[in-house]
Amino acid sequence: MANTTQTLRQLTAADVLASLGSLRAKQPVKYAAFYSSQLGGIVTDPSLMVIPFDDHMVHRGHGIFDTAGLVDGKIYDLEAHLDRFHRSAEHSRLAMPMPRAALREVIIATVAASGQRHGAIRYWLSSGPGSLELSPAAGAEPGFFVMVFPGLSYPERWYTDGLKVMTTTYPIKPSLYAVTKSTNYLPNVLMQMEAKASGVDNGVFIDANGHVGESSNMNVAFVTSDGVLRHPRFDHILQGCTSLRALDLARRLQHDGLLRGVEVCDIPVAEARAAREMLLLGSSVKVAPIVAWDGQPIGDGTPGPVSKALLALLEEDMRTGDRLIPVMY
């Protein structure tokens, strides 16, 4: 409990450091390393991984982020994630604090400092501190932050038995905001909370035209009854780096006869519900089968072969493909 007004006191810098330390003792986290352009370097003590309360990203949500995977000491597909980071920055009118090559070096150095070989790297760009106004403070310097952490994990049953999803009651973000990976994730958070409260694993956004959108922090795709892998167009949803890569890798399944084609197109809900398979795609989940949507089975209600084959292709690409950046620890 917080102190009562009678006992509130003014804190010294040492008091603040002690409080930050005891907060983390009560709530341990596995953040291995954090870079902050505002602090001017890397810290490994989670109690020091902080950002000023008046940073525009904190009090107005004027910030962007992205997350790349760390696999066996190598960073996977970082260039695709940096492409999206730059696009999100442009849409958000955020200036980059350093050139792309320097961002990449900072990310790699933070991973090296973490000593971690598996997990995730999340990085943010903020428009900086300096006021509580709606527009960024005059002269505010953009902040760049990098966190190395274990990554999000999901139950094994998602892969063995498949997941259940529901159509969310929350409206999809307007296109400009959906294609921008900003720190405004309220609809995504509410959708996932709604799904969990309803006893299913996640939600799906549908757009105003009745086309399938995406899930909370993942994309969705379908295999039609005649064997075509269909993915929603990326003009009204986030362009998933996993989806982009998986759509490319999926062409190999055409040679194996598992797929007849790969298409990125508008997908009306009725068509989607008649699919043979429904897939969830994202950097954290990779590829997982969805077996039920709004209480109705997808296909025969069991995980299908395309989701399994695509997961294997993606995992192979993450281990041995040509999109890996080695970290010099």
Ligand X SMILES: Cc1ncc(COP(=O)(O)O)c(C=O)c1O
| 85 vs 230: CA distance, rounded Å | 25
We find the least distance from the C-beta atom of residue 2 to ligand X, in angstroms, to be 33
Using the rule CB under 6 A, is 88 a contact of ligand X?
A: no
The one catalytic residue in 164, 181, 196, 308 is 181
Amino acid at site 58: V
30 given a catalytic annotation: no
Residues 30-69 within binding reach of ligand X (CB under 6 A) = 67
Using the rule CB under 6 A, is 218 a contact of ligand X?
A: yes
| 105 vs 205: CA distance, rounded Å | 36
What counts of helices (H) and strands (E) characterise the chain?
A: 11, 15
Return the residue matching tokens 């999000």.
152
Using the rule CB under 6 A, is 188 a contact of ligand X?
A: yes
Using the rule CB under 6 A, is 277 a contact of ligand X?
A: no
| 266 vs 212: CA distance, rounded Å | 7
Using the rule CB under 6 A, is 180 a contact of ligand X?
A: no
Q: Is the dihedral of CA 198, 238, 281, 114 positive or negative?
A: negative
| 286 vs 74: CA distance, rounded Å | 17
Using the rule CB under 6 A, is 111 a contact of ligand X?
A: no
Using the rule CB under 6 A, is 283 a contact of ligand X?
A: yes
* Interacting residue with ligand X among 163, 238, 298, 306 (CB under 6 A): 238
We find the least distance from the C-beta atom of residue 94 to ligand X, in angstroms, to be 18
Q: Which stretch binds ligand X (CB under 6 A): 112-120, 212-220, 300-308, 314-322?
A: 212-220
| 314 vs 246: CA distance, rounded Å | 7
Write out the H or E segment, with its range, that includes residue 315: helix 305-320
Residues 120-159, mask of contacts with ligand X (x by CB under 6 A): ----------------------------------------
Nearest 5°: CA angle at 159, between 158 and 163?
35
Q: Which stretch binds ligand X (CB under 6 A): 3-11, 22-30, 47-55, 210-218?
A: 210-218
We find the least distance from the C-beta atom of residue 11 to ligand X, in angstroms, to be 37
In 33-185, alpha helices (H): 56-59, 78-91, 100-114, 157-160, 175-178
We find the least distance from the C-beta atom of residue 310 to ligand X, in angstroms, to be 13
| 37 vs 133: CA distance, rounded Å | 22
Using the rule CB under 6 A, is 192 a contact of ligand X?
A: no
Binding stretches for ligand X (CB under 6 A) = 67, 188, 214, 217-219, 238, 240-243, 282-283
Catalytic residue IDs: 181
